[in-house]
């Protein structure tokens, strides 16, 4: 943020109006500096004035305004104020704040407002009895057509887990999926409304107009489009009133939002592909559901104040599912704007799905861990895009690529790696390659630091004609295909090490890159993506996260035609579809599946839908082997894949579900080390007293278990199952676990005479005496089964809450 000081007693060369010779006093944390003098002759006098102004600037820096989110005691509004908005405005005016300080008033997802304040004003608000908390705005980041077949959804006729496809499609017409992201490209064929009935009368949303967006762009498929940018403007320009370079409209200039929206509920589009790759029919998980887009993410990211405004509006508009492919770091729930907004959504019957994050394979790297949120990790599909690197030593290595140009031809060229004097040349960072060393050659680039596609741009700018993108230990064997601007292939760490060794030690290393198109039925699949964030859950270790994984690697979906497939400025190619990877892609898969379950079971709660998706998930790949981890090829575990990979057909008829009421979630919150005010801030009810609370947060009726022994040898939890299958169903329990833990379930047999009947069981976990407490984690499962259903819950064991 830059502050230009205009004081009449300062010499003319320091004023903007006189000569535009000025200092830009940059305030960043506690550092104050000046950028440039336009006249060196004035340097001595300028330094004197700079020193004299330094004290003044230090004082003014404390007054520099930024966005704060203010949490109010909603029920303390005096009757003299007609609305909460009036009350909040009065609070700000009492601080001598300007009229434009109030950015947003939140009434549903959150109780409070967002405002432009200086630090002193924020502190004065904290001292008010009616203010529960004042928090600086948080920056969140995006977690950036074979899928339906892979998930078993491509069935156009007949029965689907007891539901006719026609009935399910018709019921889906009444389900509305709200997507908070970078907006939408309404012209995409994925939002074609052919054959769609009239919009549900309960819908209260709308399509906003903008310089590049008209309400007429919406239809019976895309039924809502709004944008929220005041937090973004405050952070980037110092005033939400200032005109931005970005058009204030729901239009997607990034592509991410169109991709996630069409993944969740896009219509059928024949002959879809990315420049010839992955050709086929593209469709969302719930192709007959409606879509409402809420643009909360802009060029610099997604600000909490804008996200809250989007959630607030989406809940009032009447969405049934909220999909958020974005997140930040782990923080207490009362300080997590997404968690607070999602609590209200859950209470109103709205299913909330969020991406787990792309910070894997590091442990404890999860985002969006609240138990009322579906936290989604990422796995691979059984589709790949092979590319090959043939070296001069006759060795041929396989990788992946989405390059679609003319290629290198058939003649090998020289291969180089880390030949420049710049120490960052092995990473192919901008301006790190010397043209004389790479011109006309294939360059080996280590993965990491900058974007994969940017590395190819750096190579091309330096005159290189091809790139081998080689993983390091951080990415292991995970392969992500990209639509590079030059012939390029991505390879895993082991192959990368062999190629690096060859390039550095052979007297005349050469390489030739070629491409293999699209390959189906890849084995093994799915594999947990290395980038997918992992547990354990640092916010509440007794809640196992992530919940599930879904397809998140090399996913084809709709795209914005205002930007090329790579997102780079120099990429002038246009495509109606793009292939992307990330938990951003897996999240809308689960959002769309939740819409299908909502259509099939309109009376199910969000927790029942979540339970159905979790307890029917599978943990074996298509080779009948346990799921593997792309990071190192080892077997995966519930800290990486949660309950497993979603299986929609089984989720439609799970047999039993673990249901959780709002009161249960309140009892869970009361079991944490939160003040009553913190709990009330999340629950948004003044009469919460925490008279009912769990002795352990793990007592929540969650579909999975996370057992933290700590200083105890015995942990005992109770669970309650609800029969959503046939009357007269009988289930027996099967248990697996590590040798150092004894697991006892009582009773071992559950009989459900009626549909909707509830039965409880208790499970006791006993760590053996003398068990090695240095063992950080072990895993197991509890399965309630009969000939028709298997209701499976994973278990994670930890002997300490410390993470290595």
The predicted pLDDT at position 55 comes to: 43
CA separation for the pair 151, 555 (Å, rounded): 13
CA separation for the pair 720, 784 (Å, rounded): 12
The predicted pLDDT at position 152 comes to: 58
Q: Which of 240-249, 517-526, 565-574, 713-722 has the lowest mean pLDDT?
A: 240-249
The predicted pLDDT at position 673 comes to: 86
DSSP state, residue 238: S
pLDDT classification of 775: cutoffs 50, 70, 90: low
Residues 802, 771: contact at Cβ < 8 Å? no
The predicted pLDDT at position 796 comes to: 97
3-state secondary structure of 799: coil
Helix (H) or strand (E) holding 667: helix 662-670
Structure confidence by residue, pLDDT tens digits, 378-397: 999 999 999 999 999 999 99
DSSP per-residue codes, 455-476: HHHHHHHTT--EEEEE--TTTT
The predicted pLDDT at position 165 comes to: 66
Rounded to an integer, the average pLDDT of 326-348 is 93
CA separation for the pair 457, 464 (Å, rounded): 9
Phi, psi at residue 367, to the nearest 5°?
-115, 165
**553 burial via Cβ count (<10 Å: 0-12, 13-18, 19+):** buried
Q: What angle (nearest 5°) sits at the alpha carbon of residue 488, between those of residues 487 and 491?
A: 160
Strand partners, 398: 388
Assess whether the previous peptide bond of 442 is cis (omega < 30° from 0): no
Statement: residue 54 has pLDDT above 60:
no
Residues marked active site are found at 181, 256, 584
CA separation for the pair 180, 683 (Å, rounded): 22
Return the closest-CA partner of residue 684 out of 375, 367, 346: 346
The interaxial angle of helices 337-347 and 662-670, nearest 10 deg, is 150
DSSP state, residue 75: G
* Neighbouring C-alpha atoms within 13 Å toward the C-beta of 96: 5
Place of tokens 């990315």: 274
3-state secondary structure of 503: helix
CA-CA distances (angstroms) from residue 745 to 742, 750, 765, 766, 782?
A: 10, 11, 9, 12, 9
* CATH architecture for segment(s) 701-803: Sandwich (2.60)
Statement: residue 56 has pLDDT above 80:
no
Phi, psi at residue 575, to the nearest 5°?
-150, 140
Q: Which of 43-47, 131-135, 523-527, 528-532 has the lowest mean pLDDT?
A: 43-47
Rounded to an integer, the average pLDDT of 416-432 is 80
DSSP state, residue 374: E
Please count the other Cβ atoms lying within 10 Å of the Cβ belonging to residue 152.
13
The predicted pLDDT at position 801 comes to: 56
The predicted pLDDT at position 53 comes to: 47
Domain limits, the chain: 66-136, 149-153+160-382+525-654, 386-515, 661-696, 701-803
Statement: residue 2 has pLDDT above 80:
no
Return the closest-CA partner of residue 702 out of 739, 664, 735: 664
- Retrieve residue 92's tokens: 């700000």
Higher pLDDT, 465 or 57: 465
Rounded to an integer, the average pLDDT of 713-718 is 96
CA separation for the pair 151, 648 (Å, rounded): 7
CATH: 1.10.472.10, 3.50.30.30, 3.10.129.10, 3.90.1300.10. Which one for 386-515?
Answer: 3.50.30.30
Residues 535, 797: contact at Cβ < 8 Å? no
Residues 655, 645: contact at Cβ < 8 Å? no
- Stated pTM of the model: 0.88
Residue 542 CA, chain-centre distance (Å), reads 22
Assess whether the previous peptide bond of 361 is cis (omega < 30° from 0): yes
Rounded to an integer, the average pLDDT of 43-58 is 44
Give the domain 66-136 fold: Alpha-Beta Plaits (3.30.70)
> What secondary structure, in 3-state letters, does 170-224 show?
HHHCCCEEEEEECCECCCCHHHCCCCCCCCCCCCCCCECCECCECHHHCCCCEEE
Statement: residue 30 has pLDDT above 70:
no
The predicted pLDDT at position 98 comes to: 61
pLDDT classification of 99: cutoffs 50, 70, 90: low
- Retrieve residue 330's tokens: 């782990």
Q: Which of 13-27, 96-110, 241-255, 685-699 has the lowest mean pLDDT?
A: 13-27
127: CB partners within 8 A, 6+ apart: none
Rounded to an integer, the average pLDDT of 480-493 is 95
Statement: residue 101 has pLDDT above 90:
no
- The rounded radius of gyration (Å) of the Cα atoms in the chain is 28
3-state secondary structure of 169: helix
Strands 488-491 and 510-515: unpaired
Residues 134, 122: contact at Cβ < 8 Å? yes
Strands 290-295 and 222-227: parallel
Residues 583, 143: contact at Cβ < 8 Å? yes
> What secondary structure, in 3-state letters, does 535-564 show?
CCCCCCCCCCCCCEEEECCCEEEECCCCCC
Statement: residue 421 has pLDDT above 80:
no
DSSP state, residue 267: P
Higher pLDDT, 375 or 65: 375
What is the rounded average pLDDT for all residues in the chain? 87
Which contacts (CB < 8 Å, 24+ apart) does range 457-463 have? 457/485, 457/566, 457/568, 457/570, 458/428, 458/429, 458/430, 458/431, 458/432, 458/433, 459/428, 459/433, 459/486, 460/485, 460/486, 462/433, 462/434, 462/435, 462/438, 463/435, 463/438, 463/439
Residues 575, 559: contact at Cβ < 8 Å? yes
**57 burial via Cβ count (<10 Å: 0-12, 13-18, 19+):** middle
Statement: residue 663 has pLDDT above 50:
yes
Q: Which of 41-45, 70-74, 226-230, 646-650 has the lowest mean pLDDT?
A: 41-45
**29 burial via Cβ count (<10 Å: 0-12, 13-18, 19+):** exposed
DSSP per-residue codes, 697-749: GGGS--SSEEEE-TT-SEEEEEEEEEE-S-TTEEEEEEEE--TTEEEEEESSE
Q: What angle (nearest 5°) sits at the alpha carbon of residue 732, between those of residues 726 and 736?
A: 130
Return the closest-CA partner of residue 298 out of 251, 264, 239: 251
- Tabulate helix, strand, coil % of the chain (nearest 5): 25, 30, 45
- Retrieve residue 348's tokens: 């109103």
Helix (H) or strand (E) holding 639: helix 638-641
The predicted pLDDT at position 261 comes to: 98
Rounded to an integer, the average pLDDT of 691-712 is 95
Statement: residue 489 has pLDDT above 60:
yes
The predicted pLDDT at position 401 comes to: 96
The predicted pLDDT at position 96 comes to: 64
Q: Which of 124-138, 421-435, 627-641, 720-734 has the lowest mean pLDDT?
A: 421-435
Which contacts (CB < 8 Å, 24+ apart) does range 711-715 have? 712/767, 713/766, 713/767, 713/769, 714/764, 714/765, 714/766, 714/767, 715/764, 715/765
Return the closest-CA partner of residue 408 out of 387, 424, 381, 377: 387
Return the closest-CA partner of residue 180 out of 399, 14, 341: 341
Rounded to an integer, the average pLDDT of 159-184 is 80
DSSP per-residue codes, 336-368: -HHHHHHHHHHHTT-EEEEE--S-TTSTT----
* Neighbouring C-alpha atoms within 13 Å toward the C-beta of 89: 8
- Retrieve residue 403's tokens: 């390059």
Residues 376, 550: contact at Cβ < 8 Å? yes
Statement: residue 335 has pLDDT above 50:
yes
| CATH number, domain 149-153+160-382+525-654 | 3.40.50.200
Structure confidence by residue, pLDDT tens digits, 727-755: 999 999 999 999 999 999 999 999 999 99
Helix (H) or strand (E) holding 309: helix 304-317
Residue 416 CA, chain-centre distance (Å), reads 37
pLDDT winner (highest mean) among 277-281, 715-719, 797-801: 715-719
The predicted pLDDT at position 568 comes to: 87
Structure confidence by residue, pLDDT tens digits, 509-525: 999 999 999 999 999 99
């Amino acid at each position: 943020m830059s502050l230009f000081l205009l004081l009449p007693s300062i010499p003319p060369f320091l004023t903007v109006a006189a000569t535009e010779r000025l200092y830009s006093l940059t305030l960043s944390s506690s550092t104050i500096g000046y950028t440039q003098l336009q006249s060196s002759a004035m340097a001595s006098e300028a330094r004197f004035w700079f020193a004299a102004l330094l004290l003044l600037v230090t004082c003014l820096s404390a007054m520099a305004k930024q966005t704060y989110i203010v949490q109010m005691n909603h029920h303390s509004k005096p009757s003299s104020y007609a609305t909460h908005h009036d009350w909040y405005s009065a609070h700000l005016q009492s601080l001598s704040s300007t009229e434009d300080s109030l950015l947003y008033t939140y009434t549903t997802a959150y109780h409070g407002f967002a405002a432009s304040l200086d630090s002193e004003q924020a502190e004065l608000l904290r001292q008010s009895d009616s203010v529960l908390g004042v928090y600086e705005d948080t920056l969140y980041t995006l977690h950036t057509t074979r899928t339906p077949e892979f998930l078993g959804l491509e069935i156009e006729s007949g029965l689907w887990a007891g539901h006719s496809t026609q009935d399910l499609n018709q019921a889906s017409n009444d389900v509305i999926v709200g997507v908070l992201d970078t907006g939408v490209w309404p012209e995409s064929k994925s939002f074609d409304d052919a054959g769609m009935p009239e919009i549900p009368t309960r819908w209260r949303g709308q399509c906003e107009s903008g310089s590049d967006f008209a309400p007429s762009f919406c239809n019976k498929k895309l039924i809502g489009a709004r944008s929220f940018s005041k937090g973004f403007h405050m952070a980037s320009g110092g005033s939400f009133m200032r005109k931005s370079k970005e058009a204030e409209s729901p239009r997607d200039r990034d592509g991410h939002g169109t991709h996630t929206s069409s993944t969740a509920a896009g219509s059928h589009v024949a002959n879809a592909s990315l420049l010839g790759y992955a050709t086929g029919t593209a469709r969302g998980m719930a192709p007959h559901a409606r879509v409402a887009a809420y643009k909360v993410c802009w060029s610099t990211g997604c600000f909490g104040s804008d996200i809250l405004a989007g959630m607030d509006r989406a809940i009032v508009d009447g969405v049934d599912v909220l999909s958020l492919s974005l997140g930040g770091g782990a923080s207490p729930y009362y300080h997590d704007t997404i968690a607070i907004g999602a609590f209200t959504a859950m209470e109103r019957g709205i299913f909330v799905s969020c991406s787990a994050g792309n910070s894997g394979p590091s442990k404890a790297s999860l985002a969006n861990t609240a138990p009322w949120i579906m936290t989604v990790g990422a796995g691979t599909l059984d589709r790949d895009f092979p590319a090959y690197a043939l070296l001069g030593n006759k060795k041929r290595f396989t990788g992946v690529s989405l390059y679609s140009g003319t290629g290198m031809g058939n003649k090998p060229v020289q291969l180089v790696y880390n030949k420049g004097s710049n120490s960052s040349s092995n990473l192919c960072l901008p301006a790190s390659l010397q043209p004389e060393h790479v011109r006309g050659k294939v360059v080996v680039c280590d993965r990491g630091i900058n974007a994969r596609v940017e590395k190819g741009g750096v190579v091309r700018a330096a005159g290189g004609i091809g790139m081998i993108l080689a993983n390091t230990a951080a990415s292991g064997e995970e392969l992500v295909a990209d639509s590079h601007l030059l012939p390029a292939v991505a390879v895993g760490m082991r192959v990368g090490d062999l190629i690096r060794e060859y390039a550095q030690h052979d007297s005349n290393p050469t390489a030739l890159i070629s491409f293999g198109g699209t390959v189906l039925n890849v084995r093994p699949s799915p594999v947990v993506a290395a980038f997918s964030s992992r547990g354990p859950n640092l916010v509440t270790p007794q809640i196992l996260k992530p919940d599930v994984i879904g397809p998140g690697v090399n996913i084809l979906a709709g795209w914005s035609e205002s930007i090329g497939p790579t997102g780079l400025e120099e990429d002038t190619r246009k495509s109606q579809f793009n292939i992307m990877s990330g938990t951003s892609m897996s999240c809308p898969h689960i959002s769309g599946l939740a819409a299908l379950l909502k259509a099939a079971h309109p009376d199910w709660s969000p927790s029942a839908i979540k339970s159905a998706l979790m307890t029917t998930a599978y943990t074996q790949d298509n080779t009948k082997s346990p799921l593997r981890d792309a990071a190192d090829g080892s077997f995966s575990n519930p800290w990486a894949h949660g309950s497993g990979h979603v299986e929609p057909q089984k989720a439609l008829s799970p047999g039993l579900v673990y249901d959780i009421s709002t009161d249960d979630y309140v009892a869970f919150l009361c079991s944490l080390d939160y003040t009553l005010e913190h709990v009330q801030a999340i629950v948004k009810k003044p009469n919460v007293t925490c008279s009912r609370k769990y002795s352990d947060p793990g007592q929540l009726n969650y579909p999975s278990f996370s057992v933290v022994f700590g200083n105890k040898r015995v942990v005992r939890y109770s669970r309650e199952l609800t029969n959503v299958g046939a009357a007269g169903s009988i289930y027996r329990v099967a248990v697996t676990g590590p040798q150092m833990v004894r697991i006892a379930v009582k009773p071992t047999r559950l009989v459900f005479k009626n549909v909707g009947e509830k039965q409880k069981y208790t499970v006791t976990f006993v760590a053996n005496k003398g068990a090695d407490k240095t063992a950080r984690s072990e895993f197991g499962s509890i399965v309630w089964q009969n000939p028709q259903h298997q209701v499976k819950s994973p278990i994670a064991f930890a002997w300490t809450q410390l993470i290595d």
